[in-house]
Chain A
């Protein structure tokens, strides 16, 4: 049993599960957006705004943002622990990762609610 502090889910099982759940949400969101863009050839600001002003779309986007946070946290943490062997550099990068992702997330929400 190996202890890890800066993982998202604190154990391998929940990380594994969240990685998959978030991947599905991100895939659905991407497919939806692509489909939407293809169905609206002359996409302008007004159409875009109506889409994002809809509560369901906000919720969906919120979930997608959350999934992005979770997915990249788990993924990049794994890559860092594979390749960065020097402990303090790793710690620094892991903390930087979590902070950067948190900032992106809050920033994303801010943009979403200002539409």
Chain B
């Protein structure tokens, strides 16, 4: 079998702020048995055995935790559910854009979470707590479909040009999808306050409908649509 190994080529962004003056791309390659496929995350783990300083983040390994978003051949994706066979080589791996790089493929998610925090991502309801639970009709519950599944991987927000230009003022698709999730929740009583917080020229309205967000979301969600929904609600309240 030794003769038939096939080679996968990678070009990987490397940056260790403690050592490196500036980031550089490192060429690496991996030998695998022909006909055998693996995920980019699996490949990264094997590459780490070759060079143990290679740094990346991961946890669940099956697309549910959102910790391994990486820019793969120019598109933000989750390494753990991206098969190597789908990609053209050399496979170029870079950290997701616009967030500060901690090391190699690991970024500091703080600015992303700060925008998330601004939409008060929790249920607000000041009415007396019922004895059992706050019930929802099946149709009200269905309104949360396509919104609650977000895993906060930041693929969308860091692919959005409006977020790149105004990362402190524009909330970004992920945070706005969550805003929509709570605005749409029949048990939430803070709808008007939530809408009022979004009516300025930046927080929501910097979205230009480019749809990069919907294009990259690994969970198949559509933040553009969620944003359009909030805009409709704002219009209904505002005119």
Contacts and interface: CB of A to CB of B under 8 A. Distances in A.
A13 B169 contact: no
B238 A13 contact: yes
Given A16-B205, A82-B165, A83-B165, A11 B200 contact: yes
Contact of B200 (A2, A78, A81, A82): A2
Interface in B147-173: 162, 165-166, 169
B interface majority secondary structure: loop
Contacts of B169: 2
Interface string A77-115: 010011100000000000000000000000000000000
Contact of A16 (B197, B203, B231): B231
Interface in A3-20: 3-4, 7, 11-17
A17 B201 contact: no
Contacts of A13: 199, 205, 234-235, 238
B202 interface: yes
A46 interface: no
Q: Which bracket fits the contact residues of B?
A: 20 to 34
* Interface size range on A against B: 10 to 19
B197 A1 contact: yes
Contacts of B177: none
Contacts of A3: 200
Contacts of A83: 165
Contacts of A1: 196-197, 199-200, 203
Contacts of A17: 235, 239
Contacts of A7: 201
A4 B238 contact: no
Contacts of A12: 198-206
A1 B170 CA distance: 10
Contacts of A78: 206
Given A13-B235, A13-B238, A82-B165, A2 B199 contact: no
Contacts of A11: 199-201
A15 B235 CA distance: 12
A2 B238 contact: no
Contacts of B202: 2, 4, 12
Contacts of B166: 81-82
A51 to B, nearest CB: 35
A15 B165 contact: no
A17 B196 CA distance: 16
Interface in B208-239: 231, 234-235, 238-239
Interface string B170-208: 000000000000000000000000001111111111100
Interface of B: 162, 165-166, 169, 196-206, 231, 234-235, 238-239
10 contacts: A1-B197, A1-B200, A2-B169, A2-B202, A11-B199, A11-B201, A12-B198, A12-B199, A13-B199, A16-B205
Interface of A: 1-4, 7, 11-17, 78, 81-83
In the A-B complex, the 6 residue pairs with the smallest Cβ-Cβ separation, listed nearest first, are A12-B205, A2-B202, A12-B201, A82-B165, A4-B201, A13-B199
Given A4-B201, A12-B206, 9 more contacts: A2-B200, A4-B200, A12-B198, A12-B200, A12-B201, A12-B204, A13-B238, A17-B235, A82-B165
